[in-house]
Amino acid sequence: MNYQVEIDQSGRGGRISYIENGQALFFDWEFATDGAYVFVPKPEHWDAYWESNNLSWAQGRRQEILERLSEEVRRQQAQGARVTIEDREIHFQF
């Protein structure tokens, strides 16, 4: 499966695009005193969130997509960071 991750920055935050087969999921992110955070829907809201945005192809794939997203962000911008996927965010600790 082909996918890509694009990171846009505006000030101390921005938007990350996870693009797969020509369709994109968008996530906000921002720097914090202990690293950076990417904000994601909670596990119990994931499927409904993407369905309501007409992106039902992401349903049932939270862990897979967030692992791909976090690894690619780490590769592009934060190679030395420790990464944790949590309920509401992905935390990149520098």
Instruction: Locate 69 and state its tokens.
Output: 């997203």
Q: Please say whether the beta carbons of 89 and 29 come within 8 A.
A: no
Instruction: Supply the range of the domain harboring residue 37.
Output: 3-93
**For the whole model, what pTM was predicted?**
0.96
Distance CA 56, CA 71 (A): 23
Looking at the structure of the chain, the number of domains it has is 1
- pLDDT at residue 57 is higher than 70: yes
The per-residue pLDDT for 56 is: 97
**Residue 22 pLDDT level (bands cut at 50, 70, 90):** very high
